[in-house]
Amino acid sequence: AVVEMPVKAEAGKVLDLKLDLNAGIIHAIGMLDDKTPATDPSVAFELRGDPDKFFDTKYGGDAQFLANAGAYRLLLSLGDAKAEQVVTVAAGKTVDAVVSLGAGVVEVNTAFTPGGPAVLDGAAIEVRKGEVNADGGRDWINTQYGPKVSFKLRGGKYLLIGTQDYATGQAEVEVK
């Protein structure tokens, strides 16, 4: 919170200044969905002004921001899942802002065959959007490496593609 006010200090006198920050507290609470708190330590809240002024980032599913009275954009992110909410705080007040990612976690275990041994560490697991784009492909979202990976994704349909050397497999998934 920032407040500017003119002051006049006189030599030899004590200035008794009462500074009013005109601020309140935004208590940000992150949720994966309507019922599940976002407890992952990599959950990030960004506090932004309008049009896109950046103020601060805090990590964890529960954060507090001291901010001047007014309207702000509160952005929540976890992996590839992102959500935004407008929140207004009044001076001297605390406002609870519950932001839901509408997200889930997709854990991918890659094996040579169903129930068989896991593939090697060099496996690439790619996640793409479920819908076909104008070019007939699917837009890339993220790639991770290893036999077991985890993607945090918003609700929707996705295509997962696993590749190791010349072997490729894919699966369509839906996060609800």
Which is nearest to 103 in space by CA: 163, 23, 40, 33? 33
One pLDDT digit (tens) per residue for the chain, 176 residues? 566 778 888 899 888 888 788 899 999 999 988 888 998 889 999 999 977 899 999 999 999 999 999 999 999 999 888 999 999 999 999 999 999 998 888 999 888 888 888 887 788 999 999 999 999 999 999 999 988 898 988 889 999 999 988 889 999 999 88
pTM across the whole model? 0.71
Q: What is the rounded CA–CA span in Å between residue 65 and residue 36?
A: 22
Q: What is the rounded CA–CA span in Å between residue 36 and residue 93?
A: 26
